[in-house]
Amino acid sequence: MKIFIDTAKLDEIEQAYSYGILDGVTTNPSLIKKAVDDYKAKRIKIDIRAYIKQILKTARGTPVSLEVIGTTYKEMVEEGKKLFKLFNPVAKNVYIKIPVNPALERESDKSFDGIRAIKELSNLNIPTNCTLIFTPEQALLAAKAGASFVSPFAGRIDDYIRKGNRISFDKTDYFPEHGWKKGKLLEDNGVMSGVNLVRQCIQIIAMHNLKTKVLAASIRNARQARECALAGADIATLPLDVIKDLLTHYKTIEGMNGFVKDTVKEYANLLK
């Protein structure tokens, strides 16, 4: 499973790439706002074009998702082409992020505009990352339209299921793939958790021999990342704190302290 970092903060991206295990970056308008707000809080003016170019260079040729902000087919296609033309020459690694359904209301004539935009951009050989996926059927339609990646939102569907069942939780709390509450199986239209959503997306895409990669998004903790890997996710995009947690275990720290304490001088001298 490839690991992307889910942030637009350049310092976090640089730190994560220094570990030697990162395979890409995902951004969105909310993450870019957080990065810009950090600069504003420090009274530092930011050149957003130069800033994004630096992200692309730091990613060293690995995929970087940049999201459109339009909500119609025409807007998304035009913005996607503009973002690709403007930034892909920097490091040849731009993927255009398109919402699976850009409608702002439940019923809308624009519901398929995201799928249509993905199809159009794919026909132009512009790679796409289809975002805001909460059902396997959404992933199926995006894959059929030619999306390079589909991004099921694991953490957010967990939140939705827990809220619907009045379960108190912190966003970083682990939620089992098949959640139960007092003998009741918790689910949303057959999706029982974020990891279960990811698993179903993987199964459908594999079953129908589609080339699209499943990118597990909205990952809140290391165990959720592990279960997405076990489910067969091609990619997981993680915030920096979750990437760090992948290496954390009390017994590892305990063992290191023991090894350091027990090292004899004769052995240490061999290494000088």
- Structural domain harbouring 209: 2-270
- Residue 106 has a pLDDT of 80
- Name residues of the chain where pLDDT drops below 70: none
- Residue 182 has a pLDDT of 74
Distance of alpha carbon 100 from alpha carbon 76, whole angstroms: 11
- Residue 181 has a pLDDT of 78
Query: Among the options 9, 74, 97, 261, which is catalytic?
Result: 97
Distance of alpha carbon 196 from alpha carbon 228, whole angstroms: 9
- Residue 183 has a pLDDT of 77
57 counts as catalytic: no
Tokens 């209301």 belong to 105
CATH of the domain at 235: 3.20.20.70
- Residue 242 has a pLDDT of 98
Structural domain total, the chain? 1
What is the three-class DSSP state of 178?
coil
Measuring CA to CA, how many Å separate 47 from each of 11, 36, 50, 149? 16, 10, 5, 29
| Single pTM value for the model | 0.94
Burial string for 238-263 (b: 16+ CB within 10 Å, else e) reads: bbbebbebbeeeeeeeeeeeeeeeee
- Residue 184 has a pLDDT of 84
Nearest Cα to 58, choosing from 100, 8, 133? 8
Identify the burial level of 11 via C-beta atoms within 10 angstroms of its C-beta, where 0-12 means exposed, 13-18 middle and 19 or more buried: exposed
Cβ-based neighbour number of residue 231 at 10 Å: 22
